[in-house]
Structure 1
Amino acid sequence: MHRLFVAVDLPDKVKKSVTDIRCELPGARWVAEEQLHLTLRFIGDADELTMRAIKTAFKELTSPAFQLALCGIGHFPPGKHPRVLWVGMTVSEQLLALQQQVELALLEAGIPLEGRKFSPHITIARLKETPARLVIALEEKEKAFASEPFQVTQFHLYSSTLTGSGAIHTRQASYPLIF
């Protein structure tokens, strides 16, 4: 079985700008720079046959390349004790269209539709008993955060192996977008 997700990678320069947000924050487990990505869809466990069906469905997907820029910082769940710290992004109709095409391709491959609405973000830290006031103070300090725009030219199918020191992501396949 493979634990799968679909993602857009970030350029190294953008990853570096995100990791510059890091600070002393009790209970924060920061995501490693090389692991930062934009998840289009978490799939979960899939056997070899299902993974092959997903790869085949993604080969048929055609979507234009587009620009994206990260901006803002926040946490999940909103209005409750923070569990995830994230960086947001500018509104992108092209990103939403790509995510919708990914969702439909997965449906074709036998994966049920995602029950939650797509909320584009980059997870930058997982929080455990981090005082909400400290999270809010960091969000206030970094509210002007913005990356340089970058070109999204492909998306990827990843497998994820959970370990005691965090997840290890392995790229299974890449899918180019149209210029």
Structure 2
Amino acid sequence: MAEKIRTFISIELPDEIIQEATRLQSLIKNKKFDGKLTEPENLHLTLKFLGELSIEQIQKVKSKLEKIIFPEFQATLAETGTFSYHSNPRIIWIKVTGKQIFQLQEEIDQVLVEFFPKENRFMSHLTIARIKYVKDKQDFIESIKKLPIKKLKFQIKEFELKSSELKPMGPVYKTLGTYKLVSV
């Protein structure tokens, strides 16, 4: 059987955004929960998760992504929050705003439509922690919403096709392709 590679499309983050995310993570450490913070080198904004692909499928995806012509744009860190499953918080995120993120994500969906279904519930965010258990759920969720975030703006100049190898210590990401946006 041919090797399958777990893949996704994402935006890498500038240092000042990673620094703000790690600052917020340091505030989260004081809160009582069982879980894991995202390693700084693994912080990114996922535009589309593609799943397990063969080398041949990856080549087809690369050729489609190369056709995207999209201008560089600015995005902003907006707020913190959680994704919950059956009222249990599972993910702590930083929301990223900027309508062009959604437009770029739709453009990616469009060029890959023959291979993958469209995203129905895309939310532009950075995952900064994964939660296994928290005792006082409601207080925890409210305290995450109140984290003092710096609403930093940053320029997005490219996106990447990445592989993700799941290891016991956490995922290891590798860049399979980089796609420059058009300078305006």
TM-score, normalised to structure 1, is: 0.91
CA distance in 1, matches of 2:106, 2:119: 13
Which sections of structure 2, spanning at least 5 residues, go unmatched? none
Q: Percent identity?
A: 27
How far has the Cα of 1:140 moved from its partner?
4.1
> Which of 15, 18, 28 is the matching residue for 1:15?
18
Q: Deviations over 1:11-41 (max 9, x none)?
A: 0111011111122342120000010000000
Gaps of 5+ in 1: none
Aligned to 2:105: 99
**Structure 1 residues 6 and 133: CA distance shift in structure 2, 3 A:** same
Residues 6 and 40 in structure 1, CA contact (< 8 A), matched pair in contact too:
yes
Note closer, same or farther for the CA distance 1:44–1:94 as it changes in structure 2 (3 Å cut): same
Structure 1 segments of 4+ aligned residues over 3 angstroms from their partners? none
Letter in 2 for 1:10: L
Amino acid at match of 1:149: K
Distance change in 2, residues 1:47/1:140 (3 Å)? closer
| Aligned-residue offset at 1:137 | 4.3
Q: CA deviation at 1:68?
A: 0.5
Q: Which moved more, 1:24-33 or 1:1-10?
A: 24-33
| 8 A Cα contact 2:79 2:145, kept in partner | no
The residue that corresponds to 2:56 in the other structure is: 49
Shift, 1:69, TM fit: 1.0
Higher alpha-carbon deviation: 8-17 or 130-139: 130-139
Q: Does 1:150 align with 2:154?
A: yes
Go from structure 1 to structure 2 and tell me whether the alpha carbon gap of 1:129 and 1:51 turns closer, same or farther (over 3 Å shift): same
- Cα offset for 1:145? 0.9
C-alpha distance in structure 2 between counterparts of 1:138 and 1:153, whole Å: 33
Q: Does 1:65 align with 2:72?
A: yes
Q: Which amino acid aligns with 1:51?
A: I
Shift of 1:148: 1.8
> TM-score, normalized by length of structure 2?
0.89
Query: What is the alpha-carbon distance in structure 1 between the residues aligned to residue 14 and residue 139 of structure 2?
Result: 29
